[in-house]
Amino acid sequence: MVGLLSQELFEKLGLIFLFAFILSKTKLFQNFILQEKTRSIEKLIFMVAFGLAGVLMTYWGTPVSGGIANSRTIPVLAAGIFGGPWVGLGAGIIAGFHRMFLVVGGELTAVACGISTILGGLIGGLTKPWLEKKSRPWLYGFFVALGVEVIQMGLILLIARPFAEALRLVEVIFLPMTVLNAIGIALFMMTSQQIYDDHEKAGALKAQLALDIATETLPVLRKGFTRKSAEQAAEIIRAKTKVAAVAFTNMKEVLAHVGVGADHHIAGNEIATEMTKKVLKTSRLEIAQNRQTIDCKVKGCLLKSAIVVPIMAEDQIIGTLKLYKKIENGIMPSDIVLAKGLGTLFSSQIELSAIEYQKKMLRESELKRLQAQIHPHFLFNALNTIVSLVRTDPEIARKLLHELSYFLRSSFRHQEAFISLSEEVRTLEAYLSIEAARFQSRLKVRIDVEEGLECRIPPLILQPLVENAVKHGLLPKKEGGTVVLSVNRVEQYIIFTVMDNGVGIPQEELSELLVKKKSGGIGLRNVNERLKSIYGETLIVSSEVGRGTAISFQIPDRRMTSDTSHVG
């Protein structure tokens, strides 16, 4: 009897496994077990569906000695494991009440099996969080099912009467029902586990796709979050993802809409859909699975599902990214992963581009401040020197006027971020020729640049260092002194050093030289801050009172390319 019963249950188990496999491939079931939060209507649908499946298992069972050997435990327990306590309890009540009151035959165990069915659904729901933490939940599900079957057998012995018939029934059905139903739950969970695995793989692919898209859009969004950059980025996203349409908005208007619906979702139009307005208000993503939720006012619009994610900068929302599809319920969990990833990456790109722009503006501002500091007093002194030489040595005056013209022209011309080393040295020579004429024998200059060495550096990066050496190092000495500029390549760096044999700087002032308004003025601090923002390097100052000062810095050797746009 036990062998025949085991064979019948085993054959039905194969059909249950086939049902589980087919069910696991449906979008409705996939969405149900993948969603972190499910709607009440969805829970009700699955509660009823699994409960009715339990009823079907009762009818499909095999009558045995006043009882029914069946697989009702499998759908009811599965309802709790996948849907939680309320879904499991509801499914258990449907299948359990049916077993107690409506089924024909098997009256001996009706009440006991009905109660155990309700308990089985509740137990499945209560173990859901515990099973989700396990690396092999199907294995632990097997033991949960064993426990539920043992409880059922215990209730039969406790409630069913006469006890002798209940005991005889349990002896027949215990082993086949307990083991096979536990195997059924394990197989059901293994089949469903494939949904999670497929979801993880799809999520990984979408994450990689988001990174690929971000790589392509990086040069575009570095230009800022504008209509042009938004349109270019939308084109890239649509080509990569194959969605029906891609759109960007700022806080007030559509920046770009590429793909289906572009004839009426037009760049420059005010934001019309409530869904987008809600995202802009709450900074949370929104999903529309039908045309009504999208809320497009144009009849016949082919866009039927969408996801809208916020784009942030410095923790403030600045716009949205929207992905559209032409089918209802088209937004899948993997699409949510992709959209979230793109929203985060684009937010970072736009924020970085803003920071980069601000740094550029700051560098330009600092350069203008430096130019403003240099020109007034230098120009006044230079003109006084030239005027005094006009009568005594017109030829020298003419040459100095030429050098002054070159120096001023170079300073005003250097609006670009980098110039060649030779240009910077030539500008420095013009400056020093005028200073040498002013101070004559008190100032000696030597410029040593390694032969063949050429690179690109920020403009006016050397002149303030030399001016500092002249003004604060040499001129306070009655006899003056010598200033030396040396530029050499050392391994992967180019080293710049400005040395003088002047009065030197007291040790207590060295640590504050670059941060407070001491003897260096804003010139040294400006150079130091520009070096930090561009190269991550700082000035190195060493000095000894009475013997002089040396100021040096290093930059990476970019001898293989003249393009320094990547620096900073």
Q: What pLDDT is recorded for position 564? A: 39
Q: What pLDDT is recorded for position 495? A: 94
Q: Please indicate, yes or no, whether residues 383 and 468 belong to a single structural domain of this protein.
A: yes
Q: Note whether residue 429 is domain-resident.
A: yes
Is the pLDDT assigned to residue 19 strictly greater than 90?
no
| CATH number of the domain bearing residue 54 | 1.10.1760.20
Strand ranges (E), 107-250:
245-249
**Predicted confidence band at 292 (pLDDT cuts at 50, 70, 90)?**
confident
Q: Please indicate, yes or no, whether residues 474 and 530 belong to a single structural domain of this protein.
A: yes
Q: Please indicate, yes or no, whether residues 313 and 184 belong to a single structural domain of this protein.
A: no
Q: Please indicate, yes or no, whether residues 177 and 241 belong to a single structural domain of this protein.
A: no
* Between residues 502 and 24, the one the model is more confident about: 502
Tokens of 560: 């293989």
Is the pLDDT assigned to residue 142 strictly greater than 70?
yes
Dihedral angle over CA of 349, 354, 356, 360, nearest 10? 160
**Predicted confidence band at 120 (pLDDT cuts at 50, 70, 90)?**
very high
Q: What is the pLDDT of residues 245-269, one digit of tens each?
A: 999 998 889 999 999 988 888 888 8
Q: Please indicate, yes or no, whether residues 63 and 99 belong to a single structural domain of this protein.
A: yes
Q: What is the C-alpha to C-alpha distance for residues 161 and 410, in angstroms, rounded to an integer? A: 108
**Predicted confidence band at 188 (pLDDT cuts at 50, 70, 90)?**
confident
Query: Which structural domain range is residue 492 located in?
Result: 356-556
Q: Please indicate, yes or no, whether residues 428 and 542 belong to a single structural domain of this protein.
A: yes
Q: Note whether residue 126 is domain-resident.
A: yes
List C-alpha distances in Å: 380 to 375, 384, 387, 476, 558.
Answer: 8, 6, 11, 20, 38
Cα atoms found within 13 Å of the Cα of residue 69, Cβ hemisphere only: 29
* Between residues 363 and 294, the one the model is more confident about: 294
Q: In percent, how much of the chain has pLDDT > 70? A: 77
Q: Please indicate, yes or no, whether residues 320 and 384 belong to a single structural domain of this protein.
A: no
Q: Note whether residue 350 is domain-resident.
A: no
- Name the most confidently modeled range: 11-25, 35-49, 341-355: 35-49
Q: Are strands 254-259 and 245-249 parallel, antiparallel or unpaired?
A: antiparallel
Query: For the residues of 238-255, what is the DSSP string, one character each?
Result: HHHH--SEEEEE-SSBEE
- Give the range among 97-106, 126-135, 363-372 with minimum mean pLDDT: 363-372
Contact 152, 73 (CB under 8 A): yes
Contact 478, 514 (CB under 8 A): no
Q: Please indicate, yes or no, whether residues 375 and 502 belong to a single structural domain of this protein.
A: yes
Q: Please indicate, yes or no, whether residues 195 and 243 belong to a single structural domain of this protein.
A: no
Is the pLDDT assigned to residue 547 strictly greater than 60?
yes
Residues in the chain: 568
Q: Note whether residue 396 is domain-resident.
A: yes
Q: What is the C-alpha to C-alpha distance for residues 274 and 28, in angstroms, rounded to an integer? A: 27
| CATH number of the domain bearing residue 550 | 3.30.565.10
Q: Please indicate, yes or no, whether residues 425 and 500 belong to a single structural domain of this protein.
A: yes
Is the pLDDT assigned to residue 373 strictly greater than 60?
no
Query: How far, in whole angstroms, is CA 363 from its chain's centroid?
Result: 28
Contact 301, 291 (CB under 8 A): yes
Q: Note whether residue 432 is domain-resident.
A: yes
Q: Structurally, how many domains does the chain consist of?
A: 3
* Between residues 508 and 214, the one the model is more confident about: 508
- Final residue of a structural domain among 266, 296, 331: 331
